[in-house]
């Protein structure tokens, strides 16, 4: 089927944004409220943040300001994300972005004035306790990198401009790219971004899959220069900000925000590239053997081990699976899952102009909203469980913490989501002794959960690190350079086990994570923590589950290292990562063994 336009999508497949605002008048009322609150904060506290009492009183109002603005901005952004072809939705989202920048610029004096005080004043405010402590501790950490007040004000005012590279990327990808249909296996097939990534990459028909990859790549290539220009702007902006704020490198700047060390960052990339590659090459060869392929190409890597065993699932089926699978996390967690379905937290629809992939937005004071496109396979169940992991995480921490203490480091933020995928897989493994079923579940873990986080995103991270090295050295990047880096990264990992057909080198064009700092590597970091914590749950049961739920409630009150320790995982060493890689290798061994037996 051709993708529907947004207006033709059945309402029951879409999310219900009236949970945020029922009418336009309601959101306009909040815009007026937050504008008035900006006036109040500015008039009452500007130039007066020199005592602990004034600092705390100002931050009390600032928390309220952030919550109102978060709601309004979420509403506009979520509405725009499902239809980039709707110019009115895009205009509304951009207008909200400008408003946020204007109001944020006016209140930039808060951070500037607080960090201008002696540490003793800030520490006295922290000693008072309460919901502002985390914010003040983070200000102390950033204090050496704070710029002059007028500079900070200008930077805040320019924040929509700083988002331009990502906006250009999205517009090129989601609004401008129009994929023609293609002919394969004697019939015509429609093609689109999400159709390719969610359907054709997994299609067991070799001619259809490879022709879809060729046509998809041809269309990408037409947009490689504008996409490269957008990315060049992004990385040069980050390099400039790193220099302005006094960091030695762009890596130091981006990792400082995550509260992790360069060693922790490099470890994920280096160890996985070296230690996991042999296992994944063996897995690729297994796929080739099972499907009787003449050669193993980059277009064949997403093939399931047993396509004939993958059942078609309904959305209601996914609900039953997830409710039962995640029941180990408690009745309150299962109730959240029920609410997500009954209250339409999830946008399941496939339509033109909709964002690809999946995400979960969790505005403070409200429930989460999950975007992804339903295609009816078990991979969708795992994806939805993943996004519900984010929802459960932020439901817990938003309820337990101040709004200032919910900005969880990206190094850790993918742990709760990938944990849910593992819990689902372990649940499924317990439901049957059938060998074919067991192989199917294991191959879902390897081919989806671990492949997505330990291969797809990890290789993106390895590529991204080389880009930033170039930029740190004063260089620049263009389409040809980016394709060369990506091609070399893929070749190093897959070796001679996989043929990199033309178009593989354009993989750098396909992910939005490059516009979010050093994000790609954090998927493997989060899954490393989740794998170790899930093993504890399997061994110890309720006590380990309660430790995990305590971690979810903690929000950003701990560093990634501290949060992992709360879950019983020590990420100060390479032990959890090496054990995770060993576990992946063990699953691949078992898949190969079962395949031989069957």
Domains of the chain by start residue, with CATH: 6-162 (1.20.140.70)
Span 139-168, pLDDT tens digits: 999 999 999 999 999 999 999 899 999 999
Exposure on the CB side of residue 420, measured as CA atoms within 13 A? 29
Strand partners, 241: none
Span 446-489, pLDDT tens digits: 988 899 889 999 999 999 999 999 999 999 999 999 999 999 99
Q: How many residues does the chain have?
A: 598
Fill in the DSSP letter of residue 446. I
65: its two tokens: 């300001």
**Confidence check: pLDDT of 328 > 90:** yes
d(CA 502, CA 97): 39
| DSSP three-state, residue 177 | coil
Task: Please give the span between the terminal C-alpha atoms of the chain, in angstroms, as a whole number.
Answer: 35
**Confidence check: pLDDT of 1 > 60:** no
Kindly state the percentage of the chain with pLDDT values over 90. 91
pLDDT range class, residue 198, cuts 50, 70, 90: confident
Closest listed residue to residue 563, CA positions, set 415, 450, 396, 417: 415
Helix then strand then coil, % of the chain, to nearest 5 = 70, 5, 25
pLDDT range class, residue 129, cuts 50, 70, 90: confident
Identify the residue with better confidence: 598 or 555. Answer: 555
Strand partners, 370: 346, 360
**Confidence check: pLDDT of 61 > 90:** yes
Mean pLDDT check: name the lowest of 87-96, 300-309, 531-540, 575-584: 300-309
Average pLDDT over the chain, rounded to an integer: 95
Beta carbons within 10 angstroms of residue 583's beta carbon: 16
Instruction: Please classify residue 324 by burial: count the beta carbons closer than 10 Å to its beta carbon, then call 0-12 exposed, 13-18 middle and 19+ buried.
Output: middle
d(CA 216, CA 209): 10
**Confidence check: pLDDT of 311 > 80:** no
pLDDT at position 49, please?
A: 97
pLDDT range class, residue 598, cuts 50, 70, 90: confident
Span 26-49, pLDDT tens digits: 999 999 999 999 999 999 999 999
Contacts of residue 437, Cβ cutoff 8 Å, sequence gap at least 6: 309, 431
pLDDT range class, residue 506, cuts 50, 70, 90: very high
**Confidence check: pLDDT of 423 > 80:** yes
Q: Yes or no: say if 391 and 370 are a contact pair by the CB < 8 Å rule.
A: yes
pLDDT at position 360, please?
A: 97
What average pLDDT does range 531-560 have in this prediction?
A: 96
- DSSP string across 201-218: GG-S-HHHHHHHHHHHHH
What Rg value do the Cα atoms of the chain yield, rounded? 24
Q: Yes or no: say if 206 and 215 are a contact pair by the CB < 8 Å rule.
A: no
What is the pTM assigned to this prediction? 0.90
**Confidence check: pLDDT of 357 > 70:** yes
153: its two tokens: 């004000």
């Amino acid at each position: 089927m051709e993708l529907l336009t947004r207006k033709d999508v059945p309402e029951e497949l879409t999310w219900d944004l009236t949970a945020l605002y029922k009418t336009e008048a309601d959101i306009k009322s909040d815009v007026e409220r937050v504008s008035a609150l900006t006036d109040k904060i500015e008039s009452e506290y500007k130039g007066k943040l020199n005592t602990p009492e004034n600092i705390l009183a100002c931050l009390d109002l600032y928390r309220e300001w952030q919550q109102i603005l978060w709601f309004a901005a979420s509403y506009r952004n979520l509405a725009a994300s499902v239809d980039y072809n709707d110019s009115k939705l895009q205009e509304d989202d951009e207008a909200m972005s400008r408003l946020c920048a204007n109001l944020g610029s006016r209140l930039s004096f808060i951070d500037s004035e607080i960090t201008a005080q002696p540490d003793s004043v800030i520490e006295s405010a922290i000693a008072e306790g309460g919901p502002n402590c985390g914010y003040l501790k983070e200000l102390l950490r950033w204090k050496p990198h704070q710029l002059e007040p007028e500079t900070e004000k200008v930077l805040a005012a320019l924040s929509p401009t700083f988002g331009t590279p990502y906006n250009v990327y999205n517009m090129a990808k989601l609004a401008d790219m129009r994929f023609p249909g293609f002919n394969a296996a004697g019939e015509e097939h429609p093609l689109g971004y999400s159709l390719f990534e969610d359907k054709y990459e997994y299609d067991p028909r070799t001619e259809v899959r490879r022709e879809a990859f060729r046509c998809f790549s041809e269309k990408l290539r037409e947009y490689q220069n504008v996409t490269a220009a957008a990315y060049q702007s992004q990385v040069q902006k980050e390099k400039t900000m790193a220099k302005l704020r006094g960091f030695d490198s762009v890596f130091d700047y981006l990792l400082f925000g995550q509260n992790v060390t360069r060693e922790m960052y490099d470890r994920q990339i280096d160890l996985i590239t070296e230690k996991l590659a042999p296992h994944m090459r063996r897995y690729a060869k297994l796929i080739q053997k099972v499907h009787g392929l003449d050669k193993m190409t980059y277009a064949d890597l997403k093939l399931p081990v047993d396509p004939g065993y993958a059942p078609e699932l309904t959305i209601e089926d996914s609900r039953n699976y997830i409710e039962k699978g995640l029941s180990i996390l408690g009745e309150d967690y299962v109730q959240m899952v029920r609410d997500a379905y009954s209250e339409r937290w999830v946008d399941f629809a496939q339509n033109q102009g909709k964002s690809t992939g999946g995400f979960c937005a969790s505005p403070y004071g409200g429930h989460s909203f999950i975007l992804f496109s339903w295609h009816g396979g078990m991979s969708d169940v795992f994806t939805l469980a993943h996004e519900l992991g984010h929802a459960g995480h932020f439901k817990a921490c938003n309820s337990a913490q101040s709004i200032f203490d919910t900005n969880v480091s990206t190094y850790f933020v993918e742990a709760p989501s990938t944990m849910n995928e593992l819990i689902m897989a372990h649940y499924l493994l317990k439901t049957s002794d059938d060998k074919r079923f067991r192989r199917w579940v294991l191959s879902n873990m390897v081919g989806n959960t671990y492949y997505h986080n330990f291969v797809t995103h990890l290789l993106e991270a390895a590529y991204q690190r080389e880009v930033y090295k170039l930029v740190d050295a004063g260089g620049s990047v263009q389409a040809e350079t980016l394709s060369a880096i990506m091609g070399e990264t893929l070749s190093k990992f897959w070796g001679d086990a996989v043929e990199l057909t033309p178009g593989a080198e354009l993989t750098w064009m396909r992910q939005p994570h490059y516009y979010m700092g050093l994000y790609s590597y954090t998927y493997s970091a989060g899954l490393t923590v989740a794998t170790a914590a899930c093993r504890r749950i399997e061994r110890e049961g309720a006590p380990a589950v309660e430790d995990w739920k305590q971690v979810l409630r903690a929000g950003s009150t701990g560093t990634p290292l501290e949060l992992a320790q709360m879950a019983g995982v020590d990420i100060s060493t390479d032990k959890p990562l090496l054990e995770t890689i060993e576990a992946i290798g063990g699953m691949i061994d078992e898949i190969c063994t079962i395949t031989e037996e069957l």
